[in-house]
Amino acid sequence: MKNNFPSKVSVPIKVFWYSDRIVWPKTVTIITTVNKEGVPNAAPLSGIMHYDNLDKQPRVMLHMRKFAHTIQNICDTGEFVVNFPPYEYTDDILEACRFYPKGVNELDFMRMTPIPSQKVKPPTLAESRQVLECTLDRFYDLDESQRHAIGNVVNILVDEDLVDASRPELCKGVDPTITLGDAGRRYFHWTRIGDIKVEEVQSPPKEEEIRYSVQMKLEWQAGALKKLEEVPGFIRPMVVEMAEQIVADEGDDVVTDARFQRLIDKYTPPELMDRIDTSE
Ligand SMILES: Cc1cc2nc3c(=O)[nH]c(=O)nc-3n(C[C@H](O)[C@H](O)[C@H](O)COP(=O)(O)O)c2cc1C
């Protein structure tokens, strides 16, 4: 079919392909660690992602060059801190990125201020308006040069003036540094949060026809259906799909009252429901 879009061209896949011809904005963190002798270390890292979303064992995943001092310290001591440098500290990010010999404390050359953390030994950077204190859960090597570490989030800290801030105020207050990749591994490109667009997700068109528009595949017992009606309309189709998949994977074809209640208890704890705006 003819259209007016430019045609797509296949580009070579190179090392660091994700920042070569691809634009993939990522939040920059500075990971602080200490080595076995207790000497602190700081390094920028954008290869970090939330790994376990639930509250039972909140975890993050780090992707690092296996020979970086940071990942070696994490594996040796089992602790690290995730700091989010505000946009005005891009110079500090590049300072921490310089290849200092092992055992050199990059923080001695940075503007950001190390202060004691609450639950782990590596320092927190005071200027970071949000902080994750972490312990090592496990690590594995992707190949001979890349290592992944999974960390348990043991403490989430936010500056006191941001605790009750609206989401846009929080975003602007934290002012995270976003990396847009680099040119030639030399010129780093940064940006910060600018426009914030807020849009409301809409419920399926006819609320009263929800049972039919959701398109259930399994039989639902009456109590489970009643319970389902308490789930906000805009997430109900997702809940149905998830519940049916779990029940079907268990080899059953009926969503019983008891099974659905256990799913609700497990996946929609009160803390999660608190996050969901159910107001009209
Ligand atoms: C914006 C930015 C993002 C980075 N992200 C990563 C990353 O995700 N993984 C990685 O291994 N190195 C990353 N680096 C490079 C390390 O920070 C760099 O290798 C550093 O020297 C490691 O320090 P260390 O040996 O003290 O741990 C990044 C650097 C910058 C400037």
Most confident of 55-59, 77-81, 241-245, 263-267: 77-81
Half-sphere exposure in the Cβ direction for 107 (13 Å, CA)? 22
Q: Which pLDDT belongs to residue 268?
A: 75
Higher pLDDT, 173 or 265: 173
Q: How far, in Å, from the CA of 99 to the mean position of ligand 1?
A: 9
Token pair, residue 172, equals 């602007």
The residue whose two tokens read 């500290």 is: 89
Q: Which protein residues touch ligand 1 with a CB less than 6 Å away?
A: 28, 41, 43-47, 63-65, 68-70, 93, 97, 99, 179, 188
Q: pLDDT, tens digit, for every residue of 62-78?
A: 999 999 999 999 999 99
Show the domains of the chain with their CATH numbers: 17-191 (2.30.110.10), 202-280 (1.10.8)
58: its two tokens: 């909140």
Question: 139 forms bridges with which residues in the sheet?
Answer: 149
| pLDDT tier at 280, thresholds 50, 70, 90 | low
How many Å lie between the centroid of ligand 1 and the Cα of residue 212? 51
Q: Which residue type does 107 have?
A: L
pLDDT band at 213 (very low <50, low <70, confident <90, very high): low
What DSSP letter does each residue of 178-223 carry, written as one string? EEEEEETTTEEEEE--------PPPPPS-GGGHHHHTT--SEE-HH
- pLDDT confidence of residue 279: 66
Confidence of residue 158 (pLDDT cuts 50, 70, 90): very high
Cα 43 to ligand 1 centre (Å): 6
DSSP labels, 59-82: EEEEEEETT-HHHHHHHHHSEEEE
C-alpha 237 to ligand 1 mean position (Å): 41
pLDDT at 185: 79
What are the pLDDT digits (tens) for 222-263?
999 999 888 887 788 888 999 999 999 999 999 999 999 999
Q: Which of 19, 39, 48, 65 to mutate for ligand 1's pocket (most ligand atoms within 8 Å of CB)?
A: 65
pLDDT of residue 12: 95
Closest C-alpha to ligand 1, atom 9: 64
32 SS3 class: strand
Integer CA distances (angstroms), 194 to 86, 165, 171, 177, 270, in order: 14, 17, 10, 11, 33
Q: Residue whose CA is closest, atom 13 of ligand 1?
A: 45
Contact between 1 and 68 (Cβ < 8 Å)? no
Percent of the chain with pLDDT over 90: 72
Structure tokens at 16: 């660091």
Indicate which atom in ligand 1 lies nearest the CA of residue 31.
Answer: 27
The larger pLDDT score, comparing residue 112 to residue 267, is at 112
pLDDT tens digit string along 31-41? 999 999 999 99
- C-alpha 178 – ligand 1 centre gap (Å): 14
Residue of 64, 95, 179 with the most ligand 1 atoms within 8 Å of its CB, for mutation: 64
Phi, psi of 143 (to 5 degrees): -160, -160
Nearest-10 Cα torsion for 80, 82, 88, 91: 40
Q: Atom 8 in ligand 1: which residue has the minimum CA distance? A: 47
